[in-house]
Amino acid sequence: MHRFFIYLSYDGENYHGWQLQPNAVTVQQRLQESLSILLRCPTSVVGAGRTDAGVHAKLMVAHFNSESEIDSGLLAHKLNQILPPDIAIFKIREVTLDAHARFSARSRTYKYYISTAKQPFYRQYAWRNYFPLNYELMNEAAKILFEYDDFTSFARLHTDVKTNICHMMQAHWERSTEDGTLWIFTIQADRFLRNMVRAIVGTLVEVGREKLSLDGFRRIIEQKDRCKAGGSAPGYALFLEDIEYNDDLFIK
């Protein structure tokens, strides 16, 4: 048996997220169908995580098993030929049999985009904000995230996860150097809960609008109640940016 990591990106606009669903088209479904055709046997893939409906991935990683050896470069090329244009394969690498796309990941990085002006080319990939935001205050609030590891207040309710503990590595806003009308929120952690990034962004925007104080933001985290936090920011402006693994997982 051989195990492979497959590196891909996708535009999430036409998909109901990554995860397989019975009555909706998902990225995982499209990838599994294409792999099964090329490998001539039913092939399932396991992703590094879930992205919600409309959310994009500049880099997603998934693993699959094969009983035979595979020409990774040729398979990647053939996948790109039959997959729709909004899903692209970067590379396929063989890994150890105990390597797991989800559980072996050291960290994940997301970016969220907010546009402060009407920009035709951002309309599908950045949240147009019509209110002036205090990004300095939003960055002060983002620093508070490092004081905690239980993010129940930003987690989707009634999920099957066993713990809401996450360890934060990055969380900050910065203005794009290429376009002064675009602000980018970068957040990195060892793991994320469902809807967590969008809930954090939505709550930080409340801070930026000065409708929520820094102490109020801290109290929301401490209350561990999703109903106390702000609404979820739109999914179309969220990108899964990067996933990191230890080098010893890779065979070649």
Q: Residue 168: its pLDDT value, please?
A: 97
Q: In terms of domains, do 86 and 153 share one?
A: no
Same domain, 95 and 132: no
Q: Which domain holds residue 90?
A: 2-103
Q: Is residue 206 part of a domain?
A: yes
Half-sphere exposure of 13 (CA within 13 A, CB side): 9
Domain count, the chain: 2
d(CA 128, CA 136): 19
Check whether residue 92 and residue 127 sit in a common domain: no
Give the pLDDT score at 159. 63
Whether 76 and 174 map to the same domain: the answer is no
pTM equals 0.94
User: What is the model's pLDDT at position 160?
Assistant: 65
pLDDT given for residue 156 in this prediction: 78
In one letter, which amino acid is 243? I
Chain mean pLDDT for the chain:
94
Is residue 246 scored above 70 in pLDDT?
A: yes
Residues 68-76: what's their mean pLDDT? 93
> Within a domain: residue 247?
no
52 carries an active-site annotation? yes
pLDDT at 213: 96
Mean predicted confidence (pLDDT) in 211-221: 96
In a domain, 24, yes or no: yes
When computed from its CA atoms, the radius of gyration of the chain, rounded to whole angstroms, is: 19
pLDDT at 170: 97
In a domain, 160, yes or no: yes
The predicted-structure confidence for 80-93, as pLDDT tens digits, reads as follows: 999 999 999 999 99
Report the candidate in 248, 240, 250, 242 with the shortest Cα–Cα distance to residue 27. 240
- Measured CA to CA in angstroms, residue 187 lies from 60, 117, 165 at distances of 16, 23, 15
The CATH number that applies at residue 11 is 3.30.70.580
Q: Which of 103, 136, 153 is the last residue of a domain?
A: 103
Domain boundary among 103, 133, 158: 103
pLDDT at 238: 97
Q: Are residues 113 and 46 in the same domain?
A: no
C-beta separation of 193 from 167 below 8 A: no
Residues 132 and 210 in one domain: yes
118 and 236 share a domain? yes
Catalytic residue among 11, 52, 71, 247: 52
Does 73 reside within a domain? yes
Q: Does 246 fall in a domain?
A: no
Same domain? For 76 and 118 the reply is no
Q: Is 249 domain-assigned?
A: no
pLDDT, tens digit, for every residue of 132-177?
999 999 999 999 999 999 999 998 765 667 788 999 999 999 998 7
Whether residue 96 is found in the same domain as residue 113: no
Question: Which one-letter amino acid corresponds to residue 223?
Answer: Q
Q: Which of 89-93, 95-99, 179-183, 212-216 has the lowest mean pLDDT?
A: 179-183
How much is the pLDDT for 245?
97
Quick one: 98 and 113 in the same domain?
A: no
Across 6-22, average pLDDT: 94
Q: Which residue among 87, 103, 119 closes a domain? A: 103
Percent of the chain scored above 70 by pLDDT? 98
Question: Which are the contacts of 45, defined by CB distance < 8 A and separation ≥ 6?
Answer: 6, 28, 31, 32, 35, 62, 63, 64
- 52: tokens are 């919600």
125 plus 78 within the same structural domain: no
CATH of the domain at 161: 3.30.70.660
| Per-residue pLDDT reduced to its tens digit, 15-43 | 999 999 888 999 999 999 999 999 999 99
**pLDDT band per the 50, 70, 90 thresholds, residue 65:** very high
* 184-194 residue pLDDT tens: 999 999 999 98
Same domain, 66 and 153: no
